[in-house]
Copies of this chain bind each other. A is one copy, B any other.
Amino acid sequence: MKIIAVIGLGLIGGSILKGLKNKGYNLVGTSRNPETVKKALEQGLISGTSINEADVIFICTPINITIDTIKEVAKTAKPDAIITDVASIKGFIMDFVNENSLPINFIGGHPMAGTEHKGLDASFATLFNEAKWVLTPSKQTCSNDMQTLEQIINELGAKVIIADPYEHDKAVALISHMPLFLSQTLLGFVQNHTNSELALELAASGFRSMTRLAHTNSELAADILSGNKANVLETLEEFIKYLKNKGADYGAV
């Protein structure tokens, strides 16, 4: 029976475990938080915490410790284990992997799914249903390993998109990371506005849609905005220019 390990049992890691339950794998996992490990064991999501025998390892930690976790995993994983991650930024991680000849088979990953909630309790088996899941192969990645990983991702209900890590980072700046900044900024703007009292009393589903991303897990949001800063800033500058032009058109009509 193939062993799949998940490191980091939050929204993403927990949802991977729940989605792979009863699919014929031996699932193991670890977390920084011993309480979370205990809960995952009690809920039957994992059978143990040792990743040394795992055939496939999903690193689902916060982005800012992904590289440290890769280094750790490289020391103990089986030589032929497939190691992947779920970080929303891929360039700096793939650079690290390609520039350091670690004795591991690493394939970068980014499932395009999430909610504004965090933690194991917020995870659910169908999070990745119908989602896209980006994979960014490293220099050493072989097609067999890609196929193995893709099959697992398909079992989670997601579809694999293979992309260049830097193209990925630009694309997600456009549809995810700059909109996150925009959503946070809109919320702050309205909360600090002189008309905010009546406005916030009247705020309904439209405002909730526009500010949902502002309620993203704050550790994740900070990691994204610092990790993909150059792309987000460039996209933001372009957007401000576009918005000013559209505003001028609107005012002029």
Contact = CB atoms under 8 A, between A and B. Distances in A.
A185 B168 CA distance: 23
What copy number does this chain have within its complex? Answer: 2
A207 B240 contact: no
Majority SS of interface residues in chain A? helix
Given A182-B182, A189-B242, A242-B189, A171 B202 contact: yes
A32 interface: no
Contacts of A236: 243, 247, 250
Nearest to A232: B250
A179 interface: yes
B181 A250 contact: yes
A176 B131 CA distance: 29
A185 B114 contact: no
B239 A163 contact: no
B186 A179 contact: yes
A210 B213 contact: yes
A23 to B, nearest CB: 23
A180 B199 CA distance: 15
Q: Which of A113, A196, A202, A232 has the most CB of B within 10 A?
A: A202
Contacts of A244: 240
Contacts of A246: 181, 185, 188
24 contacts: A114-B205, A114-B206, A134-B202, A161-B202, A167-B195, A171-B198, A171-B199, A172-B199, A174-B193, A174-B199, A175-B207, A176-B204, A179-B210, A181-B246, A183-B209, A189-B239, A189-B242, A189-B243, A209-B209, A209-B213, A210-B213, A225-B250, A236-B247, A240-B247
